Structure 1
Amino acid sequence: MQRRTIRIRGARTNNLKSVDVDIPRGRLVVFAGVSGSGKSSLVFDTIAAEAGHQLNETFPPFARNRLPKWTRPEADEIKGLSPVVVIDQRRIGGNARSTVGTITDTWTYLRLLFSRISSPHVGESNRFSFNDPAGMCPTCAGLGEVVMSAVDRFLDLDKSLAQGAILLPGFGNGGYWYSRYADIGSFDADTPLRDWTEGEREALLYGGEHAACLGTRPPADYEGIVERFERIYLHTSDDLSDRKQETIARFTRSEICHDCRGDRLNEAGRTATVLGYTIGDMARMEITELADLVERVADPAVAPVAAALRDRLGAMVTMGLGYLHLGRATTSLSGGESQRIKTVKHLGSSLIEMLYVFDEPTVGLHPHDIKSMITLLRQLRDQGNTVLVVEHDLAVMAIADQIVEIGPDAGADGGELVFQGTFDELRTARTATSTALATQTPITADPRAATGAITVAGATRNNLKNVTVTIPTEVLTVLTGVAGSGKSSLATELVTQQGAVVIDQKRVSTNRRSTPITYTGIATPIRKLFAKHSGMPAGFFSANSEGACPDCNGSGVIYTDLAFMDGQETVCETCQGRRFTSDVLRHRVNGLSIADVDDLTITNAIQQMPDRTIRKALQHLDQVGLGYLRLGQPLTTLSGGECQRVKIAKELRDTLEPTLYVLDEPTTGLHPRDIATLLQILDQLVDQGHTVVVIEHNVDVIRHADWIIDLGPGPGKHGGQILYQGPVARMSGTVTADALQAGVSTTAPLSSCRPS
């Protein structure tokens, strides 16, 4: 008989405390709980991990080695699983050749369409592929852009050669490259370059015929600075070091290819047309517009291709992505956009009894747009699948068949099943989520007064329509609007024009040995503390030095390469995963060994560590709601939202001068209860004299703002305009205003935060 529940007994992954739960199959189930409570440990690290592992076990060893790796969870029993599809928020990323069209296979259908009915007829579909030599533009190799030297960044005209006027690395006074210009007798090394003639500066930069104007001709093998830079950095096939890549990023810029004008294709591919449009024209169309155009393809010979293309484009429109275009680079997509892109391929699937696992699918969605995601989740369920969603949005909870809440708190204080039932039943339960249901952030009626203003002028990036906007200083400004309305484009212009500091959700570190201990700089104080109490050298209390377990080199695990089978990672038998030698582990501070310190949460460490320097360094991480992290937890395991909050903590700790900050959806991954903590942190930044600009859809953050800039009215070409800018309490007539006013009223007098 078919099992109608997913049965879990004794789940102990991460902070889960032997959780027993039965989850109904064929239903839409939302998992709630405060940040760090253990809901992701249950859904992703237990249910999805076991389902993925068991499916992989059905493949031969050679194939398994090429499949995603799953770590088996700690649990007594897990039954009733199906093949799992995990749709998370990780940005699609990819490289410069990855676009919305290639990642969704719509470009494949479009290429096939053009190869059959284009005029003039070109031939095989690879002639329309910018990733194939047969189709790519020979000038830019199918990238649509070429890297050019940013010559205006090469020189400081107010300095002489002797003072370091050449800004490129390796050209400083006394270096070899410096001598090739300053010591050849053709240039005055002691006069600022601004006082040189234009011809002399041209000769310095470009050499060749430009050197004819010099009084003393340079040697026959003389190279201008630009030629030498491009030979060393751009015209080399060697693998580039990180240092070289940094230099290239600093002293070059990308420009649209002058041959293909960004179409990426050779002349034959970029000039053929269907319905009077080239494939490049179609790649630049919004998906909604392209879907309407494809409806006009009536040739019966390509009916199956046109139908498949229409279905895929229609699915993207349904998911609220109609404002994108197929030529958009995947590297520019937000986490929420990436997640919805990944879902496209599953909408038309005829598979049933699948297990779909979503990680906050409403991230990046305006409240007005959430209904499209709800439609998608219901559609997957109604096709006969089980849909598990980790989510904080109350609108998604309201339509769930069942809600499972893990808590009651975060870290060591979480990991328990505190509620399971319907949304109506949750309302009367005494949990963190039910409390949040009854609590609403009031609309700011008395905004802080601005101390000045900064301006973004004439912004035309992406869909912005020559936008000029004034942003008040030393207050909290929130950029709002539907997905694709132009918020991120405006924020990028703010960074470009005003040099704002971006606090984003990219990884804090790619090194597994990087932890809160190393990031906050408390590794040395901790080692000194143990050295003081033990009389041993401080180096013995480093897992990367003398104190490391000799068998696992301080990693705590032993990795065994099994050739074509999955490599095996096992806990080191010598140190039992503790990473240090027994001689080191026997020493204690406040009853804790150095390995015990790694296992402390940040909150516990603040309470238990006797050293004031250590406690002070950890306080800001605790303030931003990350007190549940273990001191030894690799930063590579943090979510995007957690990484962003780590960066906020760093700014709180290190920044003294007034700074302009831009944050992109800092509520990602936050339970409604934790958003109050975030708002306190943003207020703290403002109170320290900083200017904070936030891109956000969360209504609690919007209500708390001093100043609102609302963009729209729609996405893509239908957006890019300023609909409103001013105090939040005075906003009306937009979809954002409608979302704020639901159940909210304010009678308090208003004071203005208008920029001076």
Structure 2
Amino acid sequence: MDDKIVIRGAREHNLKNLDLELPRKKLVVFTGVSGSGKSSLAFDTIYAEGQRRYVESLSSYARQFLGQMEKPKVDYMGGLSPAISIEQKSTSKNPRSTVGTITEIYDYMRVLWARAGTQHCHKCGKPVGAQSTEQIIKRILDYPEGTKILLLAPMIRDRKGEYKDLFEEMRKDGFVRARVDGQVYELDQLLPEEGKKKAEISLDKKLKHSIEVVVDRLAIREGIESRLADSVETTLEMGDGLLIIQVVDGDEILMSQRSACVDCGISFDELAPQNFSFNSPKGMCPTCDGLGRRLEFDPTRIVRDPSKSVKQGAIGPIRSVFEQGQKSGWSRRLRSQLRDVAEVGGFSLDTPFGKLTAAQQKLLLEGPAPRDRKGLTWRGAMPMLKKWFDNTSSEGMRTWLMDQYMTTVPCPACSGGRLCPESAAVRIGGRSIVDASQFSMEQALQFFEALYGESNDKKRKNSNGSISNGHVARKLADLPEPLSKREMEIAGEVLKEIRGRLQFLLDVGLYYLTLDRAAPSLSGGEAQRIRLASQIGCGLVGVLYILDEPSIGLHQR
């Protein structure tokens, strides 16, 4: 019995009182024509009973969080193990999901870069270091004389709560003001008066708040050096090494004793895994919100037939303005604007668009530069479309504009990397987390093994440097030096997890995928292999795996 799965009297769906014995720890294939009962036996009987029995073995508290399957119609089943099903289905359609996130490799990479990465300045590229108190004071004294500033010590950053005790503690320490969510208040406004239960300004405990204590308010002038030094030291002590310089009616600068670029005057927060998450406000690119791509108006879709002239309708959104019978005020204005811009640009509206010079085409599509307008009211086809897109309240209009004239392009700010500049400037072995995500699986494994200190020349099954199904791995150029002993104490276990998961993906033939590959772009076969690799990587033994058509979408090789 221990070496068999025994089924007696299976009657689920179209099964006809089936008796069957299956060998354990073997690969068993159910094959047959559509409707012959393969899925009814594999999923609705064997998997359902194995899963049901496992869930029943848990406590009643744990069972309430798990969906329990109905008992299949079967007289007897024996020799079952806990069952896991891997169904044939497409991967997530969420544009934020990548190969790295669905395999959880990227989660480990975020921890690695946060713990062992070196922050570089995203403007000058130099490694950044801590700022001394003297450097911070000098930075403040560099403001023009008369500049009014606030010195703020960060106390709470994006955390929920009312913080009445914190405000009370500030008042006991002799402070008078605090900035809450960007607004400066008297502490008396944030605390209830004696005999009253409610303060003038109350914080919603369900919302996240940022709170800074106002340590000093001063104007830059001669003779304030001593006072400024005392205030800076107090602020850094209160803010745990952080200080915010808020110019009244101006910008603010975060200064840090931990990490800052002296040349550019930029301070950096302490690194955390959230800084490398493109789904977190701390890490995502502010231009594309962490998607890596954005919709832009495409000149090739605006002008679909360059052999036509402007009068013949070459420019899609205004192709009808020169048609006979167009007498609306809008059409008359556009005709006048186009004639003016053609005169300034030195071309005819009867000339095919494709025969115009690049500068003339740009004049029609993007409009004249502000300094060259000289009374022209034409602003360009693309700015006009953008204005329509931004100002319309109709979702139908917005969808039509996207379908007709827009295309998805890499984000110009992050070049498709999804992260903000500060996070993309953190490096390990000379590479950012964006760089490592763009490696193929085999190159990524070489990179992380080099960090771990292992040779990349040894032969491994289906791995770099070896031949797998006729594929010879490409060696990554400029391999990094191994991490130091101290860094390995911090990152050794994380590197081990990353290397193991990458190896499993190589074992199922996905050597060519990159970790930043968008999940919706994966084929069915690639998604199936990733699911298989994820299960293999768990390291469980004695588990009953039920695979639904595992070869669909996979290459015959």
Q: Tell me the TM-score normalised to structure 1 length.
A: 0.41
CA distance in 2, matches of 1:246, 1:61: 52
Moved more, 113-122 or 222-231: 222-231
1:32 alignment partner, SS class:
coil
Contact 1:11–1:42, Cα closer than 8 Å, also in 2? no
Going from structure 1 to structure 2, the CA distance change for 1:226 and 1:33 (only over 3 Å counts) comes to same
* Corresponding residue for residue 227 of structure 1: 383
Q: Report whether the alignment pairs 1:194 with 2:352.
A: yes
CA distance in 1, matches of 2:394, 2:30: 46
Amino acid in the other structure paired with 2:516: G
* Corresponding residue for residue 343 of structure 1: 532
* Corresponding residue for residue 475 of structure 2: none
Going from structure 1 to structure 2, the CA distance change for 1:225 and 1:367 (only over 3 Å counts) comes to closer
1:253 alignment partner, SS class:
strand
* Corresponding residue for residue 423 of structure 2: 269
Shift in Å, 1:338: 0.5
CA distance in 1, matches of 2:404, 2:60: 46
Shift in Å, 1:227: 2.3
Q: Report whether the alignment pairs 1:136 with 2:290.
A: no
Unaligned runs of 5+ in 1: 369-756
* Corresponding residue for residue 7 of structure 1: 7
2:85 alignment partner, SS class:
strand
Q: Report whether the alignment pairs 1:167 with 2:166.
A: no
Amino acid in the other structure paired with 2:38: K
Shift in Å, 1:184: 5.0
CA distance in 2, matches of 1:9, 1:103: 39
Amino acid in the other structure paired with 1:344: A
Going from structure 1 to structure 2, the CA distance change for 1:307 and 1:164 (only over 3 Å counts) comes to same
* Corresponding residue for residue 75 of structure 1: 73
* Corresponding residue for residue 212 of structure 2: none
Q: Report whether the alignment pairs 1:248 with 2:402.
A: yes
* Corresponding residue for residue 477 of structure 2: none
Which residues of 2 match residues 443-462 of structure 1 at below 5 A? Answer: none
Contact 2:111–2:273, Cα closer than 8 Å, also in 1? yes
CA distance in 2, matches of 1:180, 1:193: 23
CA distance in 1, matches of 2:386, 2:510: 40
1:127 to 268, 275, 300: 275
* Corresponding residue for residue 90 of structure 2: 91
Provide Cα deviations, 1:103-126, integer angstroms capped at 9, x if missing partner: 101001111111111112761011
1:31 alignment partner, SS class:
coil
Greater length-normalized contact order (CA 8 Å, ≥ 6 residues apart): 2
Contact 2:12–2:44, Cα closer than 8 Å, also in 1? no
Unaligned runs of 5+ in 2: 120-258, 260-269, 340-347, 453-482
CA distance in 2, matches of 1:272, 1:303: 19
Shift in Å, 1:293: 2.1
Q: Report whether the alignment pairs 1:112 with 2:114.
A: no
Contact 2:52–2:71, Cα closer than 8 Å, also in 1? no
CA distance in 1, matches of 2:106, 2:72: 43
Q: Report whether the alignment pairs 1:329 with 2:477.
A: no
Contact 1:337–1:364, Cα closer than 8 Å, also in 2? yes
Which residues of 2 match residues 431-510 of structure 1 at below 5 A? Answer: none
Contact 2:56–2:63, Cα closer than 8 Å, also in 1? yes
Contact 2:7–2:18, Cα closer than 8 Å, also in 1? no
Provide Cα deviations, 1:665-693, integer angstroms capped at 9, x if missing partner: xxxxxxxxxxxxxxxxxxxxxxxxxxxxx
Shift in Å, 1:168: 4.2
Shift in Å, 1:148: 1.7
Amino acid in the other structure paired with 1:326: L
* Corresponding residue for residue 471 of structure 2: none
* Corresponding residue for residue 500 of structure 2: 311
CA distance in 1, matches of 2:393, 2:45: 44
Once the two structures are aligned, what percentage of the paired residues are identical? 33
Shift in Å, 1:59: 8.7
Amino acid in the other structure paired with 1:194: P
1:98 alignment partner, SS class:
coil
Going from structure 1 to structure 2, the CA distance change for 1:166 and 1:74 (only over 3 Å counts) comes to farther
* Corresponding residue for residue 44 of structure 1: 43
CA distance in 1, matches of 2:38, 2:545: 16
CA distance in 1, matches of 2:52, 2:387: 49
Amino acid in the other structure paired with 1:11: R
* Corresponding residue for residue 320 of structure 1: 509
Amino acid in the other structure paired with 2:428: V
CA distance in 1, matches of 2:526, 2:550: 9
Q: CA RMSD in A?
A: 4.4
Going from structure 1 to structure 2, the CA distance change for 1:309 and 1:157 (only over 3 Å counts) comes to closer
Which residues of 2 match residues 610-621 of structure 1 at below 5 A? Answer: none
CA distance in 2, matches of 1:204, 1:12: 68
Contact 1:87–1:356, Cα closer than 8 Å, also in 2? yes
CA distance in 2, matches of 1:340, 1:28: 17
Shift in Å, 1:182: 4.5
CA distance in 1, matches of 2:394, 2:547: 38
* Corresponding residue for residue 287 of structure 1: 441
Shift in Å, 1:206: 4.0
Going from structure 1 to structure 2, the CA distance change for 1:20 and 1:162 (only over 3 Å counts) comes to farther
Going from structure 1 to structure 2, the CA distance change for 1:32 and 1:205 (only over 3 Å counts) comes to same
2:29 alignment partner, SS class:
strand
Going from structure 1 to structure 2, the CA distance change for 1:336 and 1:312 (only over 3 Å counts) comes to same
Which residues of 2 match residues 502-581 of structure 1 at below 5 A? Answer: none
CA distance in 2, matches of 1:77, 1:138: 60
Q: Report whether the alignment pairs 1:362 with 2:557.
A: no
1:29 alignment partner, SS class:
coil
Contact 1:85–1:357, Cα closer than 8 Å, also in 2? yes
Which structure has the bigger radius of gyration?
2
